[in-house]
Amino acid sequence: MASKDKKTEPERLSAPESIYINRELSWLAFNHRVLLEAADPAVPLLERLKFLMIYQSNLEEFYRVRIGILLHRAMLTPDKADPLSGLLPEAMIQEVLKVTREQQTLLDSLWKSVREELRAYKVDVLDFKKISKVDELMSKKLFGDIKGLLFPKIIGMDQPLPFLWDGEPNVVAFLGRGTEQQLAIIPMHRIPPYLSFEIDGCQKIVLTTQLVRHFLPLLLKKENILQSAVVVVTRNADVFLSGAEDSGDDDLRHKVSSMLSKRRREMPVRVRIQGKLSQEGRAALLKKMKVQERFVFNQNIPFDLSFRSAISGPASLRYEERRPARDLGLKKGEYFRYIEKQDLLMSFPFQSMMPFVDLIYEAADDPEVLGIKITLYRVSSSSKIAAALAYAADRGKDVLCLCELRARFDEQNNIDYSELLEDAGCRVIYGLPNHKVHSKLCVITRQHDGNISHITQVGTGNYNEITGEQYTDLSLITANEAAGRDAEDAFAALLEGQLPPKGDYLWIAPWGFKSRVLEELERERQKGSAGRVAMKVNALNNIEVMEKLIECSQAGVKIELFIRGICCLRPGVPGKTDNITVRSVVGRWLEHSRIYSFGEGDEARIFIGSGDLLNRNLERRVEAFIPVVTPDTRAQINQVLSALREDREKSRLMLSDGSYIREKGGEGTSSQEALYRYFSVRKVHLEDESGRENKEAPAGNGPESGAESGWKSAWQKLRSLLGME
């Protein structure tokens, strides 16, 4: 049995006659599923608060990117309709604004509920409309502590508004008497988002935007304050390098830095206001900001919920601890010998990324290793992997790092690391002019007795230890020489500024991805009702792939799509997609792995890699995929698919009208919990020369492992290079 969620998405996300769904509306439906996790009483309270944070962060990025793109389209090609939904750019903008307002009502309601529940645990987010005398006195003292950091800018109503930076809150106040008014702007970017104090065992959270707004009379002592509010501007981030600028020359880092500066000053795409302004005051402010009323949202929930990290409370307020398993049963010095005999699959965040770091250190210390090549799309701010690569370069290895400087919102971090890695002795190259290098590809080259061999790694997620504990991803490492040759060919092309060839063993996008997916689907279509397809991706909107899926369904092929986010194809449409099911899992960790399985049983052809079924991944990015061929690794991938298939606790089923439901009877079926139990206890064993398991290996990669100790010295060197000492 199944039941619809209360306050779910609009009944229909596309026109009744259309089998396709608009991309933007499908994404908003995904973010609504994130919001519904904050409404689930089975989710611990502070985790529900975290889902509110994620929802807000997701929506801000969506407006910065997708609304920026739609506004550009509305100006440049207003009569060009979306090929899937038939909506014109202006109509899409209107639909997005409408759905966002509907979700805003639920967002504010959930915040009110969470806030009330926090009080039961003696955590009070102060409401200055209903504040006690004691809280008022304590808050006044806190205001005195930050008052010296506040610098009001007062302008006449006929003067231009000071620039409001993207994403930064500002307290805005109207001053004066009668028609003689002025405007005060108090930027809050130097102020922490919250302060706290404790009284009688109760933790008081003070939002500094509300603190400053409440005590404006102490800041603007000589002024007559008429009304005030907190304002946050979201600016368009749809800023790219032009073809002339994006030439791949040595000055690319500087040009990307210039682009980032330009992005911060782009036009507003959304304004959020907290606090009530008069109709006249609101109109005057928007006129100065050059923002249309339709892009303005009132909200009651705080703009910044980061105070969550300061709340202690009982363990029941959080998820039960789930640490990544660091013990694979191998130690540094044993990875090569193991991988030479069998492929190694790792599953994050159930297992730690540190074994891969160990592998890099093993390569650095192996005299037979000639070089390491790797693509870096997003790395953590204190990357152990970058430190290991720097260590390898210091050990005399030829280390080639492709740093994609255009990884959106990670550009500055990648610029910093490109400079850092160069200083450490690595060779650094960048992405291609018209294609982002989004692949997660690493190849280690060795020479023994004059023979060249390779260890190749292909992943579904970034080389980032932080997201490695937050996202579900897969990483396959193999000594297969066909994989190594394809990887070397890909890097050779990238070194020359060319698109890599499609690959014989690996799938390399753009040439070898979409064509292979279509070929595999056609092979299943020809089997009719005996055909089977299972694909786990984050998004689907490519019309060629969707048309082929429809053909397969009409031929009787059973198709399972596990799609976390955007899905522009409606399943279960009679005569078209009867044999297609779509499930979305939103849970504790962000579903991020990509799996493609064609056929069933021992005959199934299984691939994992870095790309979704979006137009950009299929056509405008360099992606890498690898077949999963050994019995052990195939069994693990099938375990992932089985867990997703059986999930009724965190999975929602998509209906033929585009809405989603959660099926009943799901308690205890969470795929993420099931996979944690499965992968966190898995170990591999190195066999000795007689083929017996080597039981002498130490029990894991603890603090004194090769990776950890090597990282400490290498990272110390990187800190010195960055002037961080």
Angle among Cα 273, 275, 276 to the nearest 5 degrees reads: 105
Amino acid letter, 206? V
Measured from the Cβ of residue 541, the count of other Cβ atoms closer than 10 Å reads 25
For the stretch 626-649, what's the b/e string if a residue is b when 16 or more beta carbons lie within 10 angstroms of its beta carbon?
Answer: bbbbeeebbebbbbbbebbeebbb
Q: Partners of 399 in the beta sheet?
A: 372
Report how far residue 404's alpha carbon sits from residue 436's, in angstroms, rounded to the nearest whole number: 7
Report how far residue 716's alpha carbon sits from residue 725's, in angstroms, rounded to the nearest whole number: 9
Which residue is it, tokens 């891969």? Answer: 356
Report how far residue 307's alpha carbon sits from residue 80's, in angstroms, rounded to the nearest whole number: 44
Which residue is it, tokens 């008497």? Answer: 177
Report how far residue 440's alpha carbon sits from residue 618's, in angstroms, rounded to the nearest whole number: 15
For residues 126, 131, 132, 134, the Cα torsion angle rounded to the nearest 10 degrees is: 60
Report how far residue 561's alpha carbon sits from residue 567's, in angstroms, rounded to the nearest whole number: 9
Amino acid letter, 251? D
* Peptide bond just before 217 cis, omega within 30 deg: no
Write phi, then psi, for 615 (nearest 5 degrees). -55, -40
Write phi, then psi, for 599 (nearest 5 degrees). 90, -175
214 assigned to active site? no
The structure tokens listed for 288 are: 């100065």
Report how far residue 706's alpha carbon sits from residue 419's, in angstroms, rounded to the nearest whole number: 26
DSSP letter assigned to residue 613: B
Which residue is it, tokens 């089977």? Answer: 532
Report how far residue 247's alpha carbon sits from residue 241's, in angstroms, rounded to the nearest whole number: 9
The answer to whether 696 and 688 have CB atoms below 8 angstroms apart is: no
Report how far residue 356's alpha carbon sits from residue 341's, in angstroms, rounded to the nearest whole number: 17
Question: Of 438, 448, 592, 685, which one is the catalytic site residue?
Answer: 438
Query: Rg of the chain's alpha carbons, rounded to an integer?
Result: 27
> Which sequence positions are flagged as catalytic?
438
